Amino acid sequence: MRTPPYFVGIDVGGQSIKAGVVDDLGKPQSQVDVPTEAFKGQEHGLAQMAVAAERAIAAAGLSVKDIAGIGVATPGTMDIPAGVILEPPNLRPWKNVPVRAYIQQRLGRPTTFQNDANAAAYGEYWVGAGQGARSLVLFTLGTGIGCGIIVDDIIIEGAHSHGAEVGHVVIQMKDGRMCGCGQPGHLEAYASARALVKQARHLLATTPKSTSLRKTAIMETVQQAATPEEEETLDARHALLVFQAAAAGDELARALVDEAAYALAIGAVDMMHTIDPDRIIFAGGMISAGPAFLERIKKYIKMHAFPVPAAKTEVLYAALGNQAGLIGAAGCARRAARGGLRAASA
Ligand SMILES: [Zn+2]
């Protein structure tokens, strides 16, 4: 059973481009992966996006005329209204890439363009852990922390396409740890999978404390020249070692997990006191840590938020896994085609 009209979502990552047809109820009808091969240049990258879309349409048994709209999501930096990627660190050496115009011209269908973290948030808003809510903040915990904010079906892009970068809010003003972006004290430097692993290694190297982490693979050095996706997988796997040790009662691992949970709670409370969303949602490799981690975050949120939002804001894990970006990108195309999430279709 599938429900037309159909939309194509394209989720561009550093290593691979995922594309899929999604029906009007948000159900994926196909999914294909093609390599991004960013190093081959942006013309090649654009062609790969189109190839991914064409294969996804064929895999769903449809032709391009059956497609009501296409949504593309990519990492930043970007100019969202212009439909252009500016200078993406994950897609070197691309520069000023006219993604929306290219895809729209090549496939001949209306095309929308969005930041990948925003698209993931929109996917969860449409048919995931945010379904039915008016507003949400999504934190995706990986090598970095991606974030998306949706309020009343509006994606908070910001005036300069740099809105919702909550991984880079300052949570430590004095002697803050250095963030991947080059500024100190950001949330990402305390609560991403990479931050957790980095801090674990730092403690193992600087304290004589006995901990089961010493016997694990966490001390294996990260391979050089790893692709962003390989780094993501490796960081998630190493972070999981910390969570497992914590669950088994290891004191040092518990302190590390507690610190990450506390940092995330502070980031969440900052957002609760800014926009007061219905839901705060956590996604990414780190949520495989399971319910204990979420309970820890919730405990600190309750301690630090105003009483009413502390009691009423739902805090939960995401539901769509790594399909959130693709579904959300298609959701953005659907939203553009019908003039809103809940507007009647034309
Ligand atoms: Zn930062």
- Class of residue 11 by CB neighbours under 10 A (exposed 0-12, middle 13-18, buried 19+): buried
Ligand 1 centroid–CA 210 distance in Å is 32
Task: Identify the pLDDT of residue 223.
Answer: 58
Task: Identify the pLDDT of residue 231.
Answer: 83
Ligand 1 centroid–CA 180 distance in Å is 6
Rg, the chain, Cα only: 20
Ligand 1 centroid–CA 167 distance in Å is 6
Ligand 1 centroid–CA 182 distance in Å is 6
Render pLDDT for 238-275 as a digit per residue (tens, 0 to 9).
999 999 999 999 999 999 999 999 999 999 999 999 99
Task: Identify the pLDDT of residue 344.
Answer: 59
CA within 13 Å, CB half, 136: 33
Ligand 1 centroid–CA 295 distance in Å is 26
**Residue of 20, 124, 34 lying closest to 67 (CA atoms):** 20
Ligand 1 centroid–CA 205 distance in Å is 25
Ligand 1 centroid–CA 144 distance in Å is 9
Ligand 1 centroid–CA 169 distance in Å is 7
Q: Tell me which residue has tokens 């496939």.
A: 107
Task: Identify the pLDDT of residue 221.
Answer: 63
Low-confidence ranges of the chain (pLDDT < 70): 221-226, 344-346
Ligand 1 centroid–CA 251 distance in Å is 29
pTM as predicted = 0.95
Render pLDDT for 281-306 as a digit per residue (tens, 0 to 9).
999 999 999 999 999 999 999 999 99
Query: Which residues have beta carbons under 5 A from ligand 1 (an ion)?
Result: 168, 179, 181, 186
Task: Identify the pLDDT of residue 346.
Answer: 46
Ligand 1 centroid–CA 141 distance in Å is 13
Ligand 1 centroid–CA 54 distance in Å is 36
Ligand 1 centroid–CA 145 distance in Å is 9
**Exposure class string for 95-111: b at 16+ Cβ within 10 A, else e:** eebbbbebbbebbebbb
Ligand 1 centroid–CA 118 distance in Å is 17
Task: Identify the pLDDT of residue 66.
Answer: 98
Task: Identify the pLDDT of residue 86.
Answer: 97
Cβ count within 10 A of residue 289: 26
